[in-house]
Amino acid sequence: MVTVTYKPFVKWNVLDDDVSARLLDLSWRRGRDVASQLVGRSMPGILVMTLDNESGDYSPFNSASPLFGFLKPNRRVRLEVSGGLIAAGHVEWTGFIDSIHPIPGVDGRMNTVEIIAVGPLGQNDAAKVSLVMKSNVLTGTSVGDVLDEAGWPAVDRTVDAGQTTMKRFWSNEIFTRTALRKIEETEGGFIAESKSGKVVFEDRHHRLKADHLTSQATFSDAAAPAVGYRSIDQQDPRPFIFNKMMATVKLPVVGTLAVLWTLAESGASSPFIDAGQSRIWWASFPNPDSAVDAFAVDAWTTPVATTDFTANTAADGSGTNRTSSIAIAVSKFSHAMKITLTNNHGTDRVAITLLQARGVPLSWSDPVSVSAEDATSKTDYGERDYPHPGEFIPSTDEARDWADFTLSIYKDPIAMLRLSIVANKNNATFSEAMNREISDRVTVVAQNNAGLGINKDFFIEVISHRVVGTDRLHTTEFLLSDAEQFADFWVFDTAKFDQTTRFAY
């Protein structure tokens, strides 16, 4: 067995605190919810560690603790692992504390604490993002816009350019991960997390290039393999067979400049602003007066004095006109414009007798549905539909390409495996457990003792680790999707045309 050192660090305050001396149990995970490139969705990584808490140091309400006042969520966590061929400083997981749960011991048992941390996709989801409307924007650009709005540093992300150019993209007060998932679904890509805590966006061609065309490791059931496995389980492929692919395309229709919102309070009900004070209004669109197919604003017009707002010392407009004393500031979003009016008159309290917001509205075209189906698969497995989840498909041509592409792969059963190794069994196995990454291509041989008749390449979709007991038994589990279904697609600068290749979507 390889002697392994596990060092979880927590930044309670300014410095990283190494809690390894109190570590009892440890597990961590990253990847999709299921091992399917089609239906699998990115999930926040999770790390769970149990520490000795006999001292009460990790009890948040214990005022005698040296950490009192610092035992809070969102503290950064980093796990370093070393041993065998893996040198000190190897980062295996990075995230943020989600919860701290002291577990008092009874009947002579030890006091412990369970600390749960989540990856950047979980930590980011605390923020809601609103993005101004953009047109003809690549999916990768929109991922960057969402992360910028969420305050996620540029150095902590790796983002592909994307293959799909969306006609429009915006977000309106939705959680960060929801916004990212909308882009992920439209692109047919993958939002993930790296070991170092970066948010990663892989577009749909990511695995068709570079290292993803070559196997990075082999796990085998042959006699005396370099890296064997503890167990292997072939997942039931039937839930992931789809023989009718459907996509719905709705395209934005740009309207003409119009009044999109009007302040309902007028006449005697006109709202007042005291001298030197400000008031804020939100002009929302669509609203009850909007067309039924309206959905957003292409561009707001900054309100113009006299045309879009007026002010008077009397609510009914019979007093002195003070419109020139009103200063305006606006913030524009896809579904709203924030309007701040400031009364700069030295003495007069003024009524806002008119306030309206003009803009160019967007409405949806009539939806168009595109589908592709396979009669043979329907006969063999029954009709199994899969609707494209993407919200921003830019054209029926792209919808058709997606339907043909996905149908060619998912109309037949696809191998998916759950493979487990004893990570600290020997140096070679431990190196693979530590060096493998989500989306890596690996080879699995399961045709000897396993008897599955499998000797082919797979992509890693999920990586899970668990370390238990005083002997620190370390088990690593991979969830794997069939890579060879994607091996013969033709992409520019990668494959030779007309040589057992087909066009990639």
- Say which CATH number the domain at 77 has: 2.40.10
pLDDT in the model for residue 187: 96
Q: Are residues 350 and 372 in the same domain?
A: no
Q: Of 70, 88, 118, which residue constitutes the final position of a domain?
A: 118
Q: What share of the chain is helix, strand, coil (3-state, %, to 5)?
A: 15, 45, 40
Q: Are residues 184 and 92 in the same domain?
A: no
- Alpha carbon distances (Å) from 37 to 315, 459, 482: 62, 9, 9
Cα dihedral sign for 22, 25, 30, 33? negative
- What are the φ/ψ torsions at residue 391 (nearest 5 degrees)? -95, -15
What are the DSSP E strand ranges found in 385-433? 385-387, 416-422
Q: Are residues 356 and 259 in the same domain?
A: yes
Q: Are residues 316 and 276 in the same domain?
A: yes
134 residue type, one letter: K
pLDDT in the model for residue 500: 44
420 domain-assigned: no
Residues in Cβ contact with 319 at an 8 Å cutoff, skipping those fewer than 6 apart: 312, 313
Query: Binning pLDDT at 50, 70 and 90, where does residue 491 land?
Result: low
For 105-134, what is the mean pLDDT? Answer: 88
Q: What is the DSSP code string of 127-174? A: SEEEEEEEEEEEHHHHHHHHHHHTT--GGGEEE---S-EEEEEEEEEE
Number of domains in the chain: 4
Q: What is the DSSP letter of 189?
A: -
Say if CB 62 and CB 502 are below 8 A apart: no
396 residue type, one letter: T
H or E segment at 122? helix 120-124
3-class secondary structure, 220: strand
Q: Are residues 110 and 152 in the same domain?
A: no
pLDDT in the model for residue 489: 57
181 domain-assigned: yes
Q: Are residues 280 and 311 in the same domain?
A: yes
Q: State CA 60 to chain mean position distance.
A: 31
Q: Over pLDDT 70: what percentage of the chain? A: 96
Largest CA distance in the chain: 97
481 domain-assigned: no
Q: Are residues 87 and 182 in the same domain?
A: no
With CA atoms as reference, report the closest residue to 180 among 168, 195, 196, 169.
169
pLDDT in tens, 190-206: 999 999 999 999 999 99
Q: Are residues 350 and 371 in the same domain?
A: no
Task: Characterize 15-44 residue by residue with b for buried, 16 or more Cβ atoms within 10 angstroms of its Cβ, and e for exposed.
Answer: ebeebeebbbebebbbbbebbbbbebebbb
C-alpha span between 263 and 357 (Å, rounded): 9
Task: Characterize 354-390 residue by residue with b for buried, 16 or more Cβ atoms within 10 angstroms of its Cβ, and e for exposed.
Answer: bbebbbbbbbeeeeeebbbbbeebeeebeebebebeb
Question: What are the tokens at 408?
Answer: 């060619």
Q: Are residues 400 and 355 in the same domain?
A: no
Residue 414's CB: how many other CB atoms inside 10 A? 19
**Residue/partner pairs of 482-485 with CB below 8 Å, 24 or more apart:** 482/414, 482/415, 482/416, 482/456, 482/458, 483/207, 483/212, 483/441, 483/456, 483/457, 483/458, 483/459, 484/456, 484/457, 485/409, 485/414
For 423-446, what is the mean pLDDT? Answer: 96
Residue 208's CB: how many other CB atoms inside 10 A? 17
- What residue numbers bound the domain in which 340 lies? 253-364
Whether residue 497 is predicted with pLDDT greater than 70 in this model: the reply is: no
pLDDT in the model for residue 105: 87
pLDDT in the model for residue 330: 97
Q: Of 308, 336, 364, which residue constitutes the final position of a domain?
A: 364
Question: What are the tokens at 257?
Answer: 């400049």
Q: State CA 451 to chain mean position distance.
A: 38
319 residue type, one letter: G
430 domain-assigned: no
Nearest 5 degrees, angle CA 72-CA 198-CA 27? 60
pLDDT in the model for residue 417: 96
- How high is the mean pLDDT of the chain? 93
Task: Characterize 129-158 residue by residue with b for buried, 16 or more Cβ atoms within 10 angstroms of its Cβ, and e for exposed.
Answer: bbbebeeebbbbbbbbbbbebbebeeeebe
pLDDT in the model for residue 503: 59
Q: Are residues 355 and 371 in the same domain?
A: no
Q: Of 118, 137, 158, which residue constitutes the final position of a domain?
A: 118
500 domain-assigned: no
With CA atoms as reference, report the closest residue to 261 among 356, 363, 359, 362.
356
422 domain-assigned: no
Say if CB 93 and CB 194 are below 8 A apart: no
pLDDT in the model for residue 449: 84
490 domain-assigned: no
Whether residue 163 is predicted with pLDDT greater than 90 in this model: the reply is: yes
Q: Are residues 92 and 189 in the same domain?
A: no
C-alpha span between 335 and 19 (Å, rounded): 47
For 286-314, what is the mean pLDDT? Answer: 95
Say if CB 23 and CB 8 are below 8 A apart: yes
494 domain-assigned: no
Query: Binning pLDDT at 50, 70 and 90, where does residue 504 land?
Result: low
Q: Are residues 343 and 379 in the same domain?
A: no
C-alpha span between 338 and 352 (Å, rounded): 16
Under the phi-then-psi rule, with left for phi > 0, alpha for psi from -120 to 50, and beta for the rest, what region is 184? alpha
Query: Binning pLDDT at 50, 70 and 90, where does residue 490 land?
Result: low
Say if CB 196 and CB 424 are below 8 A apart: no
Say if CB 134 and CB 168 are below 8 A apart: yes
Whether residue 357 is predicted with pLDDT greater than 80 in this model: the reply is: yes
